[in-house]
């Protein structure tokens, strides 16, 4: 099979992913194999490829927003059947027995493993996933529309939970990439106003077209403070400004897996009046199932730009340079 393989971390502009032939993986017990149709790209892929996350395994096939059709089933599988369309997300293993797993917080499991980081992911024509961590894809979505929901959607959905957005409230989104443009559709469907802070003109235009109440580059120009905010930008220096523009009692959720250092906060200016600051760590499988169900009901329609598998380096370069409006998706054939 063809796969884009990372042998050594490095800047994405150096084309660190190599297209090569690899043996097709075989599913083990309680695993299924997918014939992959597409895989969305993500900033977390960049953090893995460029070495910003601690190294876990090399060589590795990145990619954790995978859509495909089950074509082989390992021993002891009971839920999925050959021919079913399923998705693979970032979270691919938890212990199932620790305190966090037993109390509905498996995203905090110390034994967590992740797709495209601890095990080969979806930048390939075939991928293997534990059956318990595969998501059935609702028929409302085409493959390329489903792929962005499997991380951008799921993490955005968890961030929306963590920011405690009140019914009919005002949500500020900092950065308007893949996750934010999914979250915006959910928030607007729930009757909330959305303010978008972005420096990228094309992202600003997309936010306006999608119905944002206000769009701009400077949060100080927002017409009113937000009830809740989500920062998707991996830069810690914007955190004080986002807190300053929250209402009393508001909550800021930080949605990134990686972030540069946050500068010192002034207690009275940034945190007093019961403002809350919440991080977001991965997701639970319940988050994924809830997101897919709500997304199908709305229905969410991600804005996608497709690339051939062999152009994964170029796609990620475009992502890093903010040249993609919405989500980039690698397609395996066609």
Residue with tokens 């007093």: 272
Helices 152-162 + 285-297 axis angle, to 10: 100
- What would the 3-class secondary structure string for 143-178 be? HHHHHHHHCHHHHHHHHHHHCCCCCCCEEEEECCCH
Instruction: State the pLDDT at residue 333.
Output: 85
Q: What is the DSSP letter of 60?
A: B
Whole-Å CA distances, 240 to 51, 61, 246, 263, 309:
27, 37, 10, 8, 39
Over range 226-241, report the average pLDDT. 95
Domain spans of the chain?
2-149+302-331, 154-279
Share of the chain above pLDDT 90, in %: 98
Sorting pLDDT into bands at 50, 70 and 90, what band is 104? Answer: very high
* pLDDT for residue 258: 85
> Higher-confidence residue: 104 or 256?
104
The domain 2-149+302-331 belongs to what CATH superfamily? Answer: Medium-chain alcohol dehydrogenases, catalytic domain (3.90.180.10)
pLDDT interval class at 224 (50, 70, 90): very high
- pLDDT digit string, tens, across residues 34-80: 999 999 999 999 999 999 999 999 999 999 999 999 999 999 999 99
Q: Where are the beta strands (DSSP E) in the chain?
A: 2-6, 17-21, 31-40, 66-73, 85-88, 91-93, 113-114, 126-130, 134-136, 170-174, 193-197, 214-216, 226-231, 246-254, 276-279, 304-308, 327-331
Mean pLDDT of 241-268: 94
Q: Are 252 and 276 in contact (CB under 8 A)?
A: yes
* Phi, psi of 5, deg, nearest 5: -115, 135
> In the predicted model, what is the mean pLDDT of residues 289-300?
96
CB 169 within 8 A of CB 228: yes
Please check whether residue 332 is in contact with residue 36, taking contact to mean a CB–CB distance below 8 angstroms.
yes
Q: What is the CA radius of gyration of the chain?
A: 19
Q: Is the pLDDT of residue 165 over 80?
A: yes
pLDDT digits (tens, 9 = 90+) for 108-153: 999 999 999 999 999 999 999 999 999 999 999 999 999 999 999 9
1-14 per-position pLDDT tens digit: 999 999 999 999 99
Question: Which phi and psi angles does 9 have, rounded to 5°?
Answer: -65, 150
Phi-psi region of 286 (alpha: psi -120 to 50; beta: other; left: phi over 0): alpha
CA distances from 141 to 114, 144, 153, 296 (A): 24, 8, 13, 7
- How far apart CA 113 and CA 92 sit, in angstroms, is 6
Per the CB < 8 A criterion, the answer to whether 292 and 274 are in contact is no
Instruction: Look at residue 105 and tell me whether its pLDDT is greater than 70.
Output: yes
C-alpha–C-alpha distance, residues 251 and 58, integer Å:
38
Rounded distance between C-alpha atoms, residue 331 and residue 112, angstroms? 28
Q: How confident is the model at residue 334 (pLDDT cuts 50, 70, 90)?
A: low
Cα distance between residue 184 and residue 195, in whole Å = 9
Q: What is the mean pLDDT of residues 301-330?
A: 96
Q: Does domain 154-279 have CATH number 3.40.50.720?
A: yes
């Amino acid at each position: 099979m063809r796969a884009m393989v990372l042998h050594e971390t490095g800047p994405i502009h150096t084309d660190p992913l190599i297209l090569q032939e690899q043996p097709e993986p075989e599913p083990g017990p309680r695993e299924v194999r997918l014939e992959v149709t597409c895989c969305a790209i993500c900033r977390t892929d960049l953090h893995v490829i460029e070495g910003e996350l601690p190294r876990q395994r090399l060589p590795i096939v990145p990619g954790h927003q995978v859509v495909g059709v089950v074509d082989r089933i390992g021993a002891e599988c009971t839920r999925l059947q050959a021919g079913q369309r399923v998705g693979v997300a970032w979270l691919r293993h938890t212990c199932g027995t620790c305190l966090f797993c037993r109390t509905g917080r498996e995203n905090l499991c110390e034994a967590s493993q992740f797709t495209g980081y601890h095990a080969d992911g979806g930048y390939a024509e075939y991928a293997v996933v534990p059956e318990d961590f595969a998501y059935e894809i609702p028929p409302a979505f085409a493959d390329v529309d489903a792929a962005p929901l499997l991380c951008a959607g799921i993490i955005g959905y968890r961030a929306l939970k963590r920011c405690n957005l009140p019914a009919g409230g005002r949500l500020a989104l900092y950065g308007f990439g893949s996750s934010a443009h999914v979250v915006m559709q959910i928030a607007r469907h729930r009757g909330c106003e959305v303010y978008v802070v972005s420096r990228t003109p094309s992202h600003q235009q997309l936010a306006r077209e999608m119905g944002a109440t206000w769009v701009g580059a400077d949060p100080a120009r927002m017409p009113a403070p937000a009830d809740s905010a989500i920062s998707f930008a991996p830069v810690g220096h914007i955190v004080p400004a986002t807190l300053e523009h929250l209402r009393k009692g508001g909550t800021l959720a930080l949605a990134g897996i990686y972030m540069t250092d946050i500068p010192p906060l002034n207690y009275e200016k940034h945190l007093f009046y019961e403002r809350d600051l919440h991080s977001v760590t991965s997701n639970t499988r319940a988050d994924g199932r809830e997101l897919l169900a709500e997304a199908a009901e709305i229905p969410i329609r991600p804005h996608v730009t497709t690339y051939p598998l062999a152009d994964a380096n170029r796609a990620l370069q475009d992502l890093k340079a903010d040249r993609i409006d919405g989500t980039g998706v690698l397609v395996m054939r066609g």
